[in-house]
Structure 1
Amino acid sequence: MLKIGKFSKLCHVSVRMLRHFEEMGLLLPERVDPFTGYRYYTASQLTTVSTIVSLQRMGLSLTAIGEILESSSTSQALETHIEACYQKKLKEAEKLQVQLWQLKAAGERLRRKEEIMKNYIVVAKELPSCQVASLRDTLSTYTEEGRLWEKLHAEIAPQHPKFATPPFSTATYHDAEYNEANPDVEVQVSVIGSYQDTGHVYFKKLPARLVASVTFTGAYDQITDVNITAMRWIEENGYRTNGTMFNVYHVGPGDTSEPEKWVTECCFPIAAK
């Protein structure tokens, strides 16, 4: 029989780890000297250690390895645990792949960020007073905004409203902070003439407003960068915000399903400091 030190050298596993295997019940010494406490192992147990180490490298836990070693049908137990481990690692690999893609994309965005933000042009402009049909509601998510537009147009359609040219369609987000759920959203479209309020749509006159305006083309994932650019411009040019920002959809999802053709104007009401 082999003392624990010699056994450790032969199987390339530290004495500390062998003692841990013993505590876990995975590998008990063949004999323990009752006087010295020396532990002795047999050559056949080297195979058991090799199996434990191999399964560890595959990602199986020591608990699972113990269940395999204790099973009366070791091959079946091993197959079951390996399949479970495989599925777990597959999910982890898929998650890791997504994270790697996100990291790569984030790096590219950071490299382009300053250049992209320089391409956004901020201008101060006065929006004239106008008459609008307005519908405000709390949505489950921001993606439901299209439902508000459909409801607004459906309720005012019987009155055959005349829309301003060019069209002026806006969305205002009234929450004091960003809410992932239940956002408070108001959509408005400019109209010419007088009309009766409906069950959910109200007609009102908006005052003239001074805004810092940024117009961009493409998908809405640019809005955060647009917001940053606008806030910098407002601070650097002696203005302060003076109301809730809103988006003007010059060309939106209702006009085309191709995001690269969308034209959005972000407006930030401002006043001189």
Structure 2
Amino acid sequence: MFKIGEFSVLTSISIHMLRNYDKIGLLIPKYIDESTGYRYYESDQLPIANQIVALKMMGFGLKEIVALQLEDMETDKLKNILKNKIKDKEQEVKIIKGQLEQMDNALKDLASEKECALSIVTKCIPDRKVASFRMKIKEFPDEGVLWKTLGDECKKLNVKFLDTNYSIAIQHEINFDENYIDVEVQRVVNNIYESTNKVKFYSIPSCEVASLAYQGGYSKLKDINIYIAKWIEQNGFEICGPAFNIYYISPEHKVNEEKFVTEVCFPIKKKR
């Protein structure tokens, strides 16, 4: 028999950990002296101790190792467990590689002093009910006409907007050849009303987006759109719907444009 200190040296498992293994039922001493409380281990426990160390080195947690019941474990069952663990680790490696690539791209952006570096996140935009007005305009500043029309029409219909501090604009198409921008503006509403010739009411399902929120004027929008599109390509996503802007602080609030807060969103999905 080996005292706990001797067994610790032989197995490279600390005394503290051996006591913990005893407590959780992972490696129980063969004998405990009731008068002294000393723990004693047998030689036939060395292989089990080595298996525990090996499994920990492979990334198994203590709860996983306890569940294996190593003393009674059949070889075929252990093979299947290891195969599944390999799949889990391969997925972890894939995720870590993606994170490393994102960090590398962020470092490059920081080196080139891009103010958007470390600004893009992926998230879910929840489903919503909206009042919508869509029209073709010649320039982005003309978007104000759409907001006025939407506001006037909703006022006539006595539409109740949801108590949110933002509005949404979608650029369905930017046609440089024919010199127009197909824009839809939306306000979130409590209920779906009957649509009119101008204002449409409908529900929009939730979607995953690549999002960048920034403070400043709308002159930055072009560069930000290009930056997000590049980020999406670099990080293994693809665009799966029209981009849209969420306006938190806008000309409606009558503040200097440097105080505007806008979130640019691109619907995305993982590339196959």
Say which of 181, 201, 214 aligns to 1:216: 214
The alpha-carbon deviation at position 227 of structure 1 amounts to: 1.9
Cα pair 2:174 2:180 within 8 Å, conserved: no
Matched residue, 1:164: 162
Matched residue, 2:171: 173
Counterpart-to-counterpart distance in 1, 2:262 and 2:138: 23
Counterpart-to-counterpart distance in 2, 1:117 and 1:267: 17
Change (3 A) 1:118 1:138: closer
Say which of 174, 198, 201 aligns to 1:200: 198
Q: Secondary structure at the match of 1:125?
A: strand
Change (3 A) 1:177 1:199: closer
Matched residue, 2:137: 139
Counterpart-to-counterpart distance in 1, 2:180 and 2:222: 20
Matched residue, 1:265: 263
TM-score for the superposition, normalised by structure 1: 0.55
Counterpart-to-counterpart distance in 2, 1:167 and 1:173: 21
Identical positions, percent? 36
Cα pair 1:155 1:198 within 8 Å, conserved: no
| Aligned-CA RMSD value | 2.3
Cα deviations by residue, 1:19-74 (Å, 9 ceiling, x for unpaired):
xxxxxxxxxxxxxxxxxxxxxxxxxxxxxxxxxxxxxxxxxxxxxxxxxxxxxxxx
Matched residue, 1:229: 227
Q: Secondary structure at the match of 2:180?
A: coil
Which has more radius of gyration? Answer: 1
Change (3 A) 1:204 1:230: same
The alpha-carbon deviation at position 179 of structure 1 amounts to: 5.9
Cα pair 1:247 1:267 within 8 Å, conserved: yes
Q: Secondary structure at the match of 1:163?
A: coil
The alpha-carbon deviation at position 119 of structure 1 amounts to: 3.9
Matched AA of 2:235: N
Residue 188 (1) aligns with residue 207 (2): no
List gaps (5 residues or longer) in structure 2. 1-109
Give 1:2-151 correspondences, 5 Å limit.
114-119=112-117, 121-151=119-149
List gaps (5 residues or longer) in structure 1. 1-111
The alpha-carbon deviation at position 173 of structure 1 amounts to: 1.4
Cα deviations by residue, 1:212-231 (Å, 9 ceiling, x for unpaired):
00000001111223123312
Change (3 A) 1:161 1:114: farther
The alpha-carbon deviation at position 115 of structure 1 amounts to: 1.4
Counterpart-to-counterpart distance in 2, 1:157 and 1:217: 30
Matched AA of 1:142: F
Matched residue, 2:94: none
Matched AA of 2:164: P
Matched AA of 2:133: L
